[in-house]
Amino acid sequence: MPFYAVACVAFGSIDPIFRDAVPRWNPLTWDFSESKIIFSSLINGPLQGVAIRTIIYVVCAMLLSFLIGFPVAYFLARHAGKRKLMYLVLIILPFWVNYLMRMLAWVNLLSPSGLFSRFMNILGVHYNWLDGSPITVTLGLVYGYIPFLILPLYATLERLDWRLIDAARDLGANSRQAFRLVTVPMSKPGLFAAGVLIALPMSGDYYTNDLLSRSPSTEMLGNQIDFFLNASTQPQRGALLVLALSIFLLIFMSFYLRSTRQHARETTR
Amino acid sequence: MTLVASQSQRRARTSPLVFVIWAYIIWSLVPVIIAVIYSFNNGRSRTVWQGFSLRWWFTDPNASLWHDDSMRNAIFNSLVLSIATMLVVTPLGITLAIGAQRIRGRGSNVVQGLTAAPLITPEIVVGAALLITFTRLFTAVPLGFTAQLLGNVTFSLSSVVVIVRARLVSIGSSFEEAARDLGASRWQALRFVLLPMLWPSVMASLVVVFATVIDDFVITSFLSSGVNSETVPLRIYSSVRGGATPALNALATLLVITSFTALVIGLFGLSTWRKRHGERGGLRAALADVTQMES
């Protein structure tokens, strides 16, 4: 129902006097002219940069998250041994630390007088971290969402039948071969699901960007939605962008839902 | 025996990953710890250390967390919102989960999809949709507390359903059937057999909902109506990049302490319940309950 309301505002008309969006509840009278403007602007207009930037940031942040998160989850599932519970608690802790607190922590560290900036100055790196830096935004996304990647990854790896890997080793595969030929293919659905799980919120994120950069040069789709819905007189455009984002993400979502349902079926069998 | 030995040897050899995990833990926790430490800074700065004091927590008569009216207001709003949501959504979620489990066939797939969808929908989509619903469709619902409550109920409902459902699946239907065979009515079987067994999932839901709502930013922000419905996360968001004093760090620290307290109470409650009722698992099972993860 709320989604229908979004569509109605998105395809509604604009009140000529108040310049405010008038939703059209009847789908037959929907007006698609504004949506054409927005979509063409996303593909080859002023919003194109925002769309591409969103995709690049999310992809980079996701790759980095995997690069950091996979070894952590792998260790946790395979080598943690008796200390597993302790590691698990330490890794779950950031989950329970407010997202904004974690961003606040980094804003403090990265500000020109902050500890991290001063440390980098000593190393000879002079960089304005908090003023429209794509690096900061991407790393901020990684920092913010990586706990949400590690736990599902861990759950997947934990569930793997490690006897198969031992069997591969016993049959003469070295550890790298066993990893590449057995571990990775077996955990692929879980890897994919975990990736989707963080790619979705990252794509709609706007506050990480707002806190760590505040510059139009790093703006993402979420920022545009936030702007149009909360700070402008064109909520219609915001609604359209929400629709565009949803359509784009729906592809991932349906894939995720299908793979989890498949998994549920396999485990209940 | 030989197999076990070779496995443990392999495990012992591949330990360089220990450094990775410790690097990760340090990276993920130390910035937060530093932010907590700076809330005890004696100066006005959140970045330059000028000695220890409780100035920004208690002693400053105007700007400390204890005396700043707007911060106290935010804390109050956060607590009211999360406790209210928790109390509304938990019974609702339990009912829904039990109901969904009774549906067989195609319907149950639909329910499963519907409850899983909000869990992975980006919050901004949910927030925007709810904003438009409350400002254009149900205009009787004013932005502010009521809208925030309804929004958070909508958003956290699915996590309750997921938690309770997992418990329902692990209980199975045999206990209820036994009660029915022994002469209990449907309602009695539900009330005296199934509901008491659901208790751990109820506790887990309470904790999870409380923590998600008190930490929630996007939905609460989209549905807020300005200063009088400002919660702690909104307050942090609006003042991080300004020249806020370490009182902001103190506020954020308080938020973290609150959700940790909820977590600890929940974990403690869950593991004592498990012990008393002879279920295995202890702390790890309790953790799994709270993080919605299979152990």
Chain A residues whose CB is inside 8 A of the B284 CB are 85, 88
Looking up residue A222, the CATH number of its domain turns out to be 1.10.3720.10
* Each residue's pLDDT expressed in tens, for chain A with a length of 269 residues: 555 555 555 555 444 444 445 555 555 555 666 666 666 666 666 677 778 888 888 889 999 999 888 888 888 887 777 778 888 888 888 888 888 888 888 888 888 777 887 887 788 777 777 777 888 888 888 998 898 888 888 888 887 777 787 788 788 777 777 777 777 777 777 788 888 888 888 888 888 888 888 777 777 877 878 877 776 666 777 777 877 787 777 777 777 777 766 666 665 54
CB within 8 Å: A113 and B47: yes
Expressed as residue numbers, the domain containing A113 is 49-268
- The number of C-beta contacts closer than 8 angstroms across A and B is 214
Q: Which chain B residue's Cα is nearest to A10?
A: B132
Helix (H, G, I), strand (E, B) or coil at B53: coil
Q: How many CA atoms lie within 13 A of B156 on its CB side?
A: 33
Mutate to test the interface with B, among A88, A101, A202, A213 (most CBs of B within 10 A): A101
Question: Which residue pairs, CB below 8 angstroms and at least 24 apart, start in B49-58?
Answer: B55/B246, B56/B245, B56/B246, B56/B247, B56/B249, B56/B250, B57/B247, B57/B250
Per CATH, the number for B65-290 is: 1.10.3720.10
Q: How far is B102 from chain A (nearest CA, A)?
A: 17
Domain assignment present for residue A37? The answer is no
Distances (CA, A) of A24 to A11, A128, A258: 7, 47, 34
pLDDT in tens, B116-165: 666 777 888 888 888 877 776 676 777 888 888 888 888 888 888 888 88
Helix (H, G, I), strand (E, B) or coil at A21: strand
Chain B residues whose CB is inside 8 A of the A211 CB are 237, 240-241
List helix spans (H) across chain B: 2-13, 17-38, 69-102, 106-120, 123-132, 145-171, 174-181, 186-188, 195-215, 218-222, 232-239, 247-276, 282-290
CB within 8 Å: A92 and B113: no
- From B236, B260, B293, residue closest to A155, measured CB to CB: B293
- From B20, B38, B126, residue closest to A72, measured CB to CB: B20
pTM, two decimal places: 0.80
Q: How far is A56 from chain B (nearest CA, A)?
A: 18
φ, ψ for residue A13, nearest 5 deg: -105, 175
CB within 8 Å: B128 and A225: yes
Is residue B82 very low, low, confident or very high in pLDDT (cuts 50, 70, 90)?
Answer: very high
Cα A161 from Cα B13, distance rounded (Å) = 20
Element (H, E) at A140: helix A134-159
Chain B residues whose CB is inside 8 A of the A230 CB are 131, 222
- DSSP lists the bridge partners of residue A13 as A22
B31 touches A105 (CB < 8 A): yes
Lowest mean pLDDT among A159-173, B138-152, B249-263, B270-284: B270-284
**Partner B, chain A 27-56, Cβ-Cβ below 8 Å:** none
- From B35, B255, B259, residue closest to A108, measured CB to CB: B35
Residue A153: closest CA among A111, A196, A124: A196
Number of domains comprising chain A: 1
Write the ipTM.
0.79
CB within 8 Å: B121 and A169: no
- DSSP lists the bridge partners of residue A14 as A21
Enumerate residues 6+ apart whose C-beta is below 8 A from B173: none
Domain assignment present for residue A33? The answer is no
Helix (H, G, I), strand (E, B) or coil at B224: coil
Domain assignment present for residue A135? The answer is yes
Enumerate residues 6+ apart whose C-beta is below 8 A from B248: A104, B46, B236, B239, B240
Q: Could you tell me the two tokens for B28?
A: 């993920």
Buried/exposed code over B112-126 (b: 16+ C-beta within 10 A; e: otherwise) = beebbbbbbbbbbbb
